[in-house]
Structure 1
Amino acid sequence: MLPYVTILGYSVPAYGLMAVLGFLAGLALVLLGSRRFGLSREDGVYLYVFSCLGGLLGAKLLYLLPELPQVAADLPMLWKGEGERFAQTYLTGGMVYYGGFAGAVAAACLTARGFALKLSDFFPVLIPAIPLLHAFGRVGCFCAGCCYGVEAPEPWGIAFTHAIAGPNGVPLLPVQLWECGAELVIFSFLLWYARRTTDHRLLLPAYLFTYAPVRFLLEFFRGDPVRGLYGPLSASQWFSLAALAAAGLWMFRRRNHEYA
């Protein structure tokens, strides 16, 4: 596909470029939406930026979790002059979305506590930013050739020619673009729902109820081995079920509390 883009004479990874564009799109959403909901733009930006940083950390940590013994064994590389090789092996590429989601939520909670803010007040701008940013990321995956689908005959499959993280010359289902389309639909729904609901806390379970089933189904069409299989399901499918259970439990407890 298009793993690198030339900008001002420099070769830039398309995945990184799409990640930056997604971050800027989410930031624009926070800036433009904060005034509509009577929120502080400055506080919204703090929450968004720290959430993104937490998301990056969480996504990387969950990716490395199964490899922690090997990471620990390779730590001496850092003081033996092999720091660059260690970074190339463990710090470049490789992230797990649900780890990023958990990291972003944790960072948002800590930031809100640190700034004495009510986090759910900012959900109308923060929650829709999640699928928006994720949609850009999936386009980046398609450009790099990672997170690819199973083999499929043309015209259903697309054969990569310059993929750096997947097979070339084999027609594969473009599940990255399917997920991008689903993310944009979820983004549109959350924008609409944010303007309709008076309880902004509902936006978080609304996101989980819409994204988790999509991710669960799309995993059946994934062909990359790095996603990991645990029994009959992939790691992300188990995480999707856990996310649905958590959202359902929250809604159940909320309803019982209202009628108690």
Structure 2
Amino acid sequence: MAQLGELMIPYPDFNIFGIEVSAYSLCSVVGMLICVAVFYYMARRRNMLKGDLVYMSLAAIVGMIIGAHILFGITRLGNMIRQLQALSSNKTSSSFDTITDIIMENWNGMVFYGGLIGAMVAIIVYTRKTKLPVLEHMDLYVPIFPLFHTFGRIGCFLAGCCYGIESDFGYAHTHSNGVVVNRFPVQLLEAGLNFLLFLVIFICFIKGIRKGRLLQIYLLVYPVIRFCDEFLRGDAIRGKFLIFSTSQWISIILFIIAIIWLIRPQWLRPIFYPRRKRPKTDRE
């Protein structure tokens, strides 16, 4: 079987100044620092370096974390219910700590799509509340989505999660039960495609593409990448309904929304262009 060198996954933790740091955490930190630098450059280029961006970014981060956990919990809801039912049938082993452990186990993970939707909702809500132009500010965040996702997927590869299907070409993946399986590096494939998508969107940003188009490009392209990518995934934790995974269904929905936005932009106008209250006149 062809392998990517002698690489064994999960990759061991890094030792930095005597502190054990996981590969995923290291990739996330590096990705975040690079994203902050890119975001600063874009905001400066658009003359939008204002205090609102700090609070908006904090809102986006909070929305991302909450959304990522919520969607993960939804995909694990059936498993959690089964665990709680099994626990209730065995009253002797039931305890508050055990119930808490079950809940934490099924809500402690994160799903990218949940984080993406949570971040976008937070940005939209914040801009509407502060009466700032929604799409103009969203343009600053859209290139960050695929860029940070690139580092996240590299981290997934090194951590051994979100792994691919069994394949003659791939890497040696060691499962928790000690079984070693050769798997397709689907995480690296998605990381590469995300980085290409970032470059396309970033170039469009530099060229001054009309506001809102960047989000349209992202919602048209990434769902297609993710939908196809899911067929190469070998982990079942992400959930499945009928013939498609949870992420594939979300990809279909987001792609349809992007198409509707493209051909019937007025249907989504209330979201991005909220109506302003008309001032009362003496005649009224």
Q: Which interval holds the TM-score relative to the shorter structure?
A: 0.7 to 0.9
> Could you tell me whether the CA contact under 8 Å between 1:31 and 1:41 is conserved in 2?
no
Using the TM superposition, give the Cα deviation of residue 51 of structure 1 relative to its aligned residue in structure 2, in angstroms: 1.0
Using the TM superposition, give the Cα deviation of residue 42 of structure 1 relative to its aligned residue in structure 2, in angstroms: 3.3
> Could you tell me whether the CA contact under 8 Å between 1:55 and 1:100 is conserved in 2?
yes
Q: Residue 171 of structure 2 corresponds to which residue in structure 1?
A: 158
SS at match of 1:219: helix
Q: Residue 194 of structure 1 corresponds to which residue in structure 2?
A: 205
SS at match of 1:223: coil
Consecutive unaligned residues of structure 2, counting only runs of 5 or more, are 1-8, 88-94, 269-284
C-alpha spacing 1:235/1:91, structure 2 compared with 1 (3 Å): closer
2:150, 2:181 → 1: CA distance?
24
TM-score by length of 1: 0.85
Q: Does 1:242 align with 2:242?
A: no
SS at match of 1:116: coil
Consecutive unaligned residues of structure 1, counting only runs of 5 or more, are none
> Could you tell me whether the CA contact under 8 Å between 1:27 and 1:48 is conserved in 2?
no
Q: Residue 61 of structure 2 corresponds to which residue in structure 1?
A: 52
Amino acid at match of 2:173: F
Structure with greater contact order relative to length (CA < 8 Å, sep ≥ 6): 2
Larger Rg: 2
Using the TM superposition, give the Cα deviation of residue 68 of structure 1 relative to its aligned residue in structure 2, in angstroms: 4.4
Amino acid at match of 2:170: G
SS at match of 2:180: coil
1:25, 1:216 → 2: CA distance?
27
Range 185-194 or range 11-20, more displaced: 11-20
TM-score by length of 2: 0.78
Q: Does 1:85 align with 2:98?
A: no
Identity %: 33
2:147, 2:140 → 1: CA distance?
11
- Bigger proportion of residues as strand: 2
- Bigger proportion of residues as helix: 1
| Offset from partner CA, 1:74-103 (integer Å, 9 cap, x none) | 9xxxx94569735752453x2222111110
Q: Residue 25 of structure 2 corresponds to which residue in structure 1?
A: 16
Amino acid at match of 1:214: I
Q: Residue 157 of structure 2 corresponds to which residue in structure 1?
A: 142
**RMSD of aligned Cα (Å):** 2.8
> Could you tell me whether the CA contact under 8 Å between 2:77 and 2:106 is conserved in 1?
no
